[in-house]
């Protein structure tokens, strides 16, 4: 039989817990009293991914607890956030397609090429990655530039440009090509000069701009023979990049006397 003192005991214990409960946050109070509703796991959402070789597709976000796929590479998407994906991309065939650059963002590192033939087939413009621009288009892509390219298809089945070439006059130019020329002149007080090369002059109808950084790095002077590739500068003119000085040799394969003297002076 329960005494009067035993009946009062639960009430006294409850009063002791009241100050402690008041110090807790609302979420802790709900958890203690068993009032919290079970938290539902957020639904996965679709978002665009862009790989370091340009592959772009949509997929569901993975649970952070999931293990990453081996061989994944970090890449920046249009949002600037790091994402993980695996991708391989090779040209579908050796067919050249022509189009024009529809858009390109240096900040995001990608853009798009419009090609009527491929748009009718895929209902999408052709993806253009920064690596293609830097390697094959001279580090510059402007809306309206006429280009041709080989076709790759990414993991989402979307078209993507490979081995892009720009139209310059009546020529298709791959800016990764290496040319041979000579330093025509160098104006030290102005910090630039020019390289003369018959092949590039035929394409661009001008000599190639040579920045002082390339001159100083390679110890160049008027008449120096060089190899170089081309980029398009801010004035939309051809400029030499990846310049290397050619070392003249004698028929025996040794350096010429003139080059030896220049090397000693340097």
Note whether residue 224 is domain-resident. yes
Query: Does a structural domain hold residue 17?
Result: no
- The answer to the question of residue 155 being in a domain is yes
CA pair distance 54, 158, nearest whole angstrom: 11
Is residue 81 a part of any domain in this protein? yes
Does residue 223 lie in a domain region?
A: yes
Asked if the structure places residue 256 within a domain, the reply is no
In whole numbers, what is the pLDDT of the chain averaged over residues?
Answer: 75
What CATH number did the domain enclosing 133 receive?
A: 2.40.50.140
Q: Is the pTM here over 0.85, yes or no?
A: no
Count of structural domains within the chain: 3
Reported as a pLDDT band with limits 50, 70 and 90, residue 127 is very high
In a domain, 126, yes or no: yes
Same domain? 81 vs 101: no
Average confidence (pLDDT) over 219-233: 93
Identify whether residues 158 and 103 lie together within a single domain.
yes
- SS3 for 218-251 is HCCCCCCEEEEEEEECCCCCEEEEEEEECCCECC
Highest mean pLDDT among 18-22, 99-103, 234-238, 261-265: 99-103
| Residue that wins the pLDDT comparison between 85 and 99 | 99
Residues 6+ apart with CB under 8 A from 211: 191, 192, 239, 240
- Judgement on whether residues 168 and 184 belong to the same structural domain of the protein: no
40, part of any domain: no
Q: Which residues contact 51 (CB under 8 A, 6 or more apart)?
A: 73, 75, 85, 87
Q: Are residues 167 and 195 in the same domain?
A: no
Q: Which domain holds residue 130?
A: 97-173
pLDDT at 92 (0 to 100): 73
Q: Say if residue 125's pLDDT is above 50.
A: yes
Q: Is residue 73 predicted with pLDDT exceeding 70? A: no
């Amino acid at each position: 039989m329960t005494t009067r003192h035993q009946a009062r005991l639960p009430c006294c214990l409850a009063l002791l817990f009241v100050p402690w409960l008041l110090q807790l946050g609302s979420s802790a109070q709900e958890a203690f009293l068993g009032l919290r509703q079970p938290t539902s796991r957020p639904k996965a959402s679709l978002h665009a991914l862009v790989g370091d070789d340009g592959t772009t597709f949509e997929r569901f976000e993975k649970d952070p607890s999931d293990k990453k796929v081996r061989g994944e590479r970090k890449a920046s998407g249009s949002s600037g956030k790091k994402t993980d994906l695996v991708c391989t991309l090779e040209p579908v065939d050796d067919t050249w397609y022509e189009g024009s650059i529809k858009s390109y963002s240096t900040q995001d590192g990608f853009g798009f090429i419009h090609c009527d033939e491929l748009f009718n087939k895929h209902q999408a413009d052709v993806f253009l990655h920064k690596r293609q621009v830097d390697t094959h288009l001279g580090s510059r892509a402007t809306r309206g530039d006429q280009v041709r390219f080989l076709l790759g298809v990414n993991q989402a089945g979307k078209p993507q440009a490979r081995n892009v070439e720009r139209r310059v006059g009546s020529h298709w130019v791959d800016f990764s090509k290496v040319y041979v020329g000579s330093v025509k002149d160098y104006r030290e007080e102005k910090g630039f000069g020019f390289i003369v090369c018959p092949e590039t002059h035929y394409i661009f109808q001008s000599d190639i701009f040579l920045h002082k950084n390339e001159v100083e790095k390679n110890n160049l002077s008027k008449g120096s023979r060089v190899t170089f590739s081309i980029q398009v500068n801010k004035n939309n003119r051809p400029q030499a990049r990846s310049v290397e000085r050619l070392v003249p040799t004698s028929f025996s394969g040794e350096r010429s006397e003139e080059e030896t003297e220049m090397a000693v002076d340097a």
